[in-house]
Amino acid sequence: MTKILDGIRVIDFTTGHMGTFATMLLADYGAEVIKIEDPAVGGDSLRYTYPKNEDGSAYHAYLNRGKKSICIDRHTEKGQELLKKLINTADVVCDCFVSGELEMCHLGYDEMSIVNPRIIYASQTGFGKYGPMATNSGVDLTSEALAGLMQITGYPDTGPTAHGSRMADQFGGVHLAAGICCALIAREDSGQGQVVEVASADSMLTALEDTIAAASLKGKSFHREGNGSRAIAPYDVFEVKDGIIATAISTNSQWNNFLTAMNMEYLHDDPRFANNESRGVYYYTEEGNPNGLHELLTEAFLRMTKKECNDLFSPLNIPSGPGLTVAEAYEDEQLKARNMVLEIKDKAIGPIKMMGMPIKITGVDDMDFTSAPLLGENTAEYLKTVGVDVKTMQALVSENVIRFHGGDE
Amino acid sequence: MTKILDGIRVIDFTTGHMGTFATMLLADYGAEVIKIEDPAVGGDSLRYTYPKNEDGSAYHAYLNRGKKSICIDRHTEKGQELLKKLINTADVVCDCFVSGELEMCHLGYDEMSIVNPRIIYASQTGFGKYGPMATNSGVDLTSEALAGLMQITGYPDTGPTAHGSRMADQFGGVHLAAGICCALIAREDSGQGQVVEVASADSMLTALEDTIAAASLKGKSFHREGNGSRAIAPYDVFEVKDGIIATAISTNSQWNNFLTAMNMEYLHDDPRFANNESRGVYYYTEEGNPNGLHELLTEAFLRMTKKECNDLFSPLNIPSGPGLTVAEAYEDEQLKARNMVLEIKDKAIGPIKMMGMPIKITGVDDMDFTSAPLLGENTAEYLKTVGVDVKTMQALVSENVIRFHGGDE
């Protein structure tokens, strides 16, 4: 099957979620991603991160599937020489260091581009490499916080609400992968590498949708409003007998079909609900609006099941679907049919389930995955390709500059 | 300045958030994105979408910045002929239709690839183009619901919580843009176009981080747990005097620095908080754990301000940052320094603020934007380039097959 990014070699210094997620996406599409791990600290800290058992980490197994591992101490002069040889053979260097770390190791962009002018240097940070917070440590949560998104997620009477998973890392990670692809496209013409940089805080700001435009045009301010929307109504989540259901109705024809399906024809002639805008105005029960639409629908949905909703709404093209728990999502027939849950036999911990590939491309096998690498598994193999002989390698092992898998064999 | 995707032409049938967000990203990086709008319905429905005023929509102005507009009725035979001529000159066709719509217009991938074998056909849907829900209408909210994310966002005593903005559309949109770039890279070698498909429900499932791995390895189930994490503690959001602050401390050295900065040295010797794992166990005040860490920190942070936190934590490399409101985020000095808020003079509605470009690439000007197009503004210009003369165009206008801006001039 086609490996779209076949022939693209990535030297990967990332750890943590965002950068590792970006290079995972590149590896999924066929790039040769080579992790550079530090022997002094036992390699990537993800190897020791929860969820884990005595054999290793499932977090590491997921984010590093299909990658290679070379163990080299970048802080030593000899390590830096080896890394320059590897960078000379590569297309992309990716890291997640704050400003200055690679420069301190004499591996900054200026130096790597002398070795290899075609190299693309891609880096990710929380707050970005310039600006007044450039030296601040940032993580997923601080990027979500800075961008304002927490303050509009949740309910009026709860506090600001973070996403249930690391959304800033993941959103920023896909941006970084897209940026690397853009730079690869540009290099086809220019023959030159470039620097690509993504801050997860910047990415999360672009997740604020049309809020800035609305504030700028209409002076609108934004607060936590729960799951409902007054711009499209009913665009909301409701409890049903066996869980929750999401429904999004904007056009009048959808509305009329919906009322028929719900056996609520008596609302057809209610002038409050004559169109989308008006349904938004009279959505919540409040002073001057007894029996708001939200309340009426809440009551009606409590009498139904997820399956009944689907059977009624699907043939009528009413945008709707079940709100699954995480456990239900893994078992969902639609997501299964899309190969979105897969099992990989990890070399360290055995078979483990993980999420699949969301970009479907003709000819690309979305079930063709290999294990994450063991620490230093590919050290000897790659150093040989850049002309390091066995004797030299053994000396480097004894000097703690490099490490093979399993010690110094 | 460099336009990375200069020379890439996209025929863009998208509307709504996800597909339009994807082609906006391509346009931002220099692709020539040509919207195909339906004259029978007054063009893209985003032109009439809130936030808007009598002159037009700021939502449209944002998502269509830098694009071109051709008004052609794809349902007519003559319109289809014109579209085939345009597709023959293009690199990418992008749409957001459910399965079958372009095929009904004789413009399906099979037909477009006969006209132009190099064409890349990229499409986005809510649930995907195959699987048991392939014919269901899906939107952002239904994808968030299906993927399970809502059920782990929010607090134990609130209902499942949707993101405060359309996260599924935006996450899926960046995936679609990345997929198009991958296909462009592959075409350099193969000379052949491909089909790229992204469902926002698939994308959102990949935002579930390590949950599937944790369930598969440890049998862990997931629920709403507020903003805190027991895997990294304290990884949480706290109220301060003038707002909120996000703090994420995992290593013992960060913890020790943090206690000193907070004047809480008395906790140094509390065995409950000796390491990250143990801080997670004793995080919440509950039976058997009076004065949990969360409670102690909640009390301590209430005595501080955002600025005091930043001044104390930043020099110590403690990952931390303010939790801004949306309005504060627009004015934030860090996000401003990154050019993440910009103003574009839209041709219809005048100056409007919007979010900038989160992927920073050397030589790419991240402040170089032009307005969204007026409806049909570029019809005549592009039809001329594919050999349609003025007399023929006038006839097509009178038959309602095409439309110029401002009517039939």
Q: List CB contacts (< 8 A) between B206 and chain A.
A: 170, 340, 355-356, 358
What the block records as the tokens of B303 is: 């005595």
Reading chain A (409 residues) residue by residue, the pLDDT tens digits are 678 999 999 999 999 999 999 999 999 999 999 999 999 999 999 999 989 999 999 999 999 999 999 999 999 999 999 999 999 999 999 999 987 889 999 999 999 999 999 999 999 999 999 999 998 989 999 999 999 999 999 998 888 999 988 899 999 999 999 999 999 999 999 999 999 999 999 999 999 988 888 888 888 888 888 888 878 899 999 999 999 999 999 888 999 999 999 999 999 999 999 999 899 999 999 999 999 999 999 999 999 999 999 999 999 989 999 999 999 999 999 999 999 999 999 999 999 999 999 999 999 999 999 999 999 999 999 999 999 999 999 999 999 999 999 754 4
Answer whether B49's CB lies under 8 Å from B23's CB: no
For domain A9-207+341-403, the CATH class is alpha beta
Chain A residues lying within 8 Å of B155, measured CB to CB: 154, 158, 161
**Residue pair A393/A400 in contact by the 8 Å Cβ criterion:** no
pLDDT band at B1 (very low <50, low <70, confident <90, very high): low
pLDDT for the residue A1: 60
- With an 8 Å Cβ cutoff, are A212 and B330 in contact? yes
Selected from 1.10.443.10, 3.40.50.10540, 3.20.20.70, 1.20.1340.10, the CATH number assigned to the domain covering B9-206+338-403 reads 3.40.50.10540
Amino acid at residue number B349: I
Q: How many CB atoms lie within 10 A of CB A131?
A: 21
Which pLDDT belongs to residue A408?
Answer: 46
CA B3-B16-A265 angle, 5° bins: 180
Exposed/middle/buried for A248, CB within 10 Å: 0-12, 13-18, 19+?
A: buried
Tokens of A197: 């940089």
DSSP states along A68-100: EEEEE-TTSHHHHHHHHHHHHT-SEEEE-PPTT
C-alpha span between B208 and B222 (Å, rounded): 11
Query: Which residue of A127, A163, A342 is the best one to mutate when testing the B interface, meaning the one whose CB has the most B CBs within 10 A?
Result: A163
DSSP-H helix ranges across A46-199: 58-63, 77-88, 101-104, 109-115, 140-146, 167-190
- Domain-by-domain residue ranges, chain B? 9-206+338-403, 235-331
Cα of B102 to nearest chain A Cα, Å: 18
pLDDT of residue A159: 86
Q: What does the pLDDT read at residue B409?
A: 44
CB contact set of A10 (below 8 Å; sequence gap of 6+): A23, A26, A27, A31, A32, A33, A34, A90, A91, A92, A93, A94
Asked if the Cβ–Cβ distance from B175 to A358 is below 8 Å, we say yes
- Polymer length of chain A: 409
At residue A231, the pLDDT reads 80
Q: Looking at CA atoms only, how far is residue B140 from chain A in angstroms?
A: 9
> For position A219, what pLDDT does the model report?
85
Task: Name the residue among A236, A319, A359 with its Cβ closest to that of B179.
Answer: A359
B344 touches chain A (CB under 8 A): no
User: Is A245 within 8 Å of chain B by CB?
Assistant: yes
Q: What DSSP element (H or E) covers B101? A: helix B101-104
pLDDT at B408: 45
Q: Does B340 contact chain A (CB < 8 Å)?
A: yes
Q: Which of B219, B244, B175 is nearest to B19 (CA)?
A: B175
Reading phi first (left if > 0) and then psi (alpha if -120 to 50, else beta), residue A137 is in beta
pLDDT of amino acid B157 = 87
Work out the minimum CA distance from B408 to partner chain A, whole angstroms. 29
How many helices (H) and strands (E) chain A has is answered by 17, 15
The beta strands (E) that lie in B17-130 are given as 32-37, 52-53, 56-57, 68-72, 92-95, 120-125
> How is residue A168 written in tokens?
């800033």
Q: What is the model's pLDDT at position A289? A: 94
> What value does the mean pLDDT of chain B take?
94
Residues B337-367 have pLDDT tens digits of: 999 999 999 999 999 999 999 999 999 999 9
DSSP state of A185: H
CB contact under 8 A, B154 and A150: no
Q: What are phi and psi of A120, to 5 degrees?
A: -105, 125
Q: How far apart are CA B104 and CA B92, in angstroms?
A: 19
**DSSP string of B269-290, one letter each residue:** T-GGGSSHHHHHHT-S-BTTBS
Say if the Cβ atoms of A170 and B206 lie within 8 Å.
yes
Alpha carbons within 13 angstroms on the beta-carbon side of residue A110 total: 5
Interface membership of B298 toward A (CB under 8 Å): no
pLDDT classification of B407: cutoffs 50, 70, 90: low
Q: Describe the crossing of helices B17-28 and B167-190 by its angle, rounded to 10 degrees.
A: 50
CB within 8 A of A114, min separation 6: which ones? none
Sheet holding A68-72, edge to edge: A402-403, A68-72, A32-37, A9-12, A92-95, A120-125, A195-199, B359-361
pLDDT value of residue A84: 98
| Cβ–Cβ gap A162/B227 under 8 Å | yes
Query: Which residues on chain A are in Cβ contact (under 8 Å) with B346?
Result: none
Instruction: Return the higher-pLDDT residue of A251 and B65.
Output: B65
Task: Give pLDDT tens digits for B224-257.
Answer: 888 888 788 999 999 999 999 999 998 889 999 9
What would the CATH number be for the domain defined by B235-331? 3.30.1540.10
Q: What is the DSSP string of A264-311?
A: -GGGTT-GGGSSHHHHHHT-S-BTTBSS-HHHHHHHHHTT--HHHHHH
Shortest CA gap A146–chain B (Å): 5
Contacts of A50 in chain B (CB under 8 A): 214, 231
- Show the tokens assigned to A349: 């911990």
